């Protein structure tokens, strides 16, 4: 079992729809969770962080965390073609110090 798992996609949604990206993790003691966006050929950019169970909203983005199910998700409302990118889930596992463990990423395609 991978430490952080994501569906590689591609996930295709029409413009204006809600995109839902999912991530599961294996270390139950993980404390911090992050979503990064990575455009093709570019470096990852932090877009959301979440630390407690529940929802956290920032503009069109909502991160959801369920530690009991070891599941974190990212919702993108009113998806735009400019949201087309790979979305990486990253976890700061318990006792991992300052290391982040990344999933393989989900490629999102927003079609006009």
Partner 1 sequence: DAGVTQSPTHLIKTRGQQVTLRCSPKSGHDTVSWYQQALGQGPQFIFQYYEEEERQRGNFPDRFSGHQFPNYSSELNVNALLLGDSALYLCASSFPTQANYGYTFGSGTRLTVV
Give residues in contact with partner 1 (CB under 8 A): 4, 6, 8, 31-32, 34, 36, 42-46, 49, 51, 88, 90, 92, 96-105
Q: Two tokens at 43?
A: 């470096």
Residue number with CB closer to partner 1 (15 or 45): 45
The closest of 104, 10, 105, 110 to 60, measured between CA atoms, is: 110
Cβ 4 to partner 1 shortest distance, Å: 8
Residue pair 69/53 in contact (Cβ under 8 Å)? The answer is: no
Sequence-ordered strand ranges (E) for the chain = 4-5, 11-14, 19-25, 32-38, 45-50, 54-58, 61-66, 71-76, 85-92, 101-102, 106-111
* Residue number with CB closer to partner 1 (13 or 90): 90
Compute the least distance from the CB of residue 31 to partner 1, in Å. 7
Q: Which CB atom, from 18 or from 99, has the smaller least distance to partner 1? A: 99
Q: How far is the CB of 41 from partner 1 (least distance, A)?
A: 8
CB of 23 to partner 1, least distance (A): 11
Q: Compare residues 76 and 90 and give the one whose CB is closer to partner 1.
A: 90
* Contact assessment for residue 112 and residue 13, using Cβ atoms and an 8 Å cutoff: no
């Amino acid at each position: 079992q991978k430490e952080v798992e994501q569906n590689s996609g591609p996930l295709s949604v029409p413009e204006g729809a809600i995109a839902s990206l999912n991530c599961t993790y294996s270390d139950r003691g993980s404390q911090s969770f992050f979503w990064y966006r990575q455009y093709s050929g570019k470096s990852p950019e932090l877009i959301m962080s979440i630390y407690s169970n529940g929802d956290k909203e920032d503009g069109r983005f909502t991160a959801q965390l369920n530690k009991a199910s070891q599941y974190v998700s990212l919702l993108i409302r009113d998806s735009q073609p400019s949201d087309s990118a790979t979305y990486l889930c990253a976890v700061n596992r318990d006792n991992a110090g300052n290391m982040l463990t990344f999933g393989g990423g989900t490629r999102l395609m927003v079609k006009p």
